[in-house]
Structure 1
Amino acid sequence: MGIKTTGKRVRKAANYYPTRILSTGISWMTGGAVFGAYGGGLLLGLKWNPEQLFILPIVPIFIAAIAARLKNRSVRSKMTGMTH
């Protein structure tokens, strides 16, 4: 099962990252998966309950959503200010 999962990640990375940074993209994708499993196990070992683990990512997701919204607003205001 792990081999199939890794293969899917490599294919996904090959479609997403340019060739010159493909190895870096694959490393980041694989490293993120390893860190997530390690971090979850560590927090469970520190007596976090599963509900706390699901609430934990809400803060960075919320910050990323606000940042994406602000960036989108900035790009749109630049586009509407352009003359044709």
Structure 2
Amino acid sequence: MATPCRHLDQIAVTTTDTRVCEDCVKLGDDWVHLRLCMSCGHVGCCDSSKNRHATRHFQRTGHPLVRSIEPGEHWIWCYADGVMPGELAD
């Protein structure tokens, strides 16, 4: 049986109007996909991107949950538990 996510009660942010990885913009780099920290609203690039800013944000802050903000994607990932606990409804 898969380990359940123990952090869903920490969701504070579910949407954003940001459509860039601001950390990559500062570096002059590109990104592949964007992830939204559901604790504080930080938008970072995915692990397929050169800088992996979403993962770095988790490592720096301990904020466990991110969601994809790519069009048509609604999944959530928990870094702390290493599981995908579900999706958000539109």
Same fold (TM over 0.5): no
Higher strand residue share: 2
Higher Cα radius of gyration? 1
TM range (shorter): under 0.3
Higher helix residue share: 1
Scaled by the length of structure 2, the TM-score of the pair is 0.23
Scaled by the length of structure 1, the TM-score of the pair is 0.25
Name the structure, 1 or 2, with higher relative contact order (CA <8 Å, separation 6+): 2
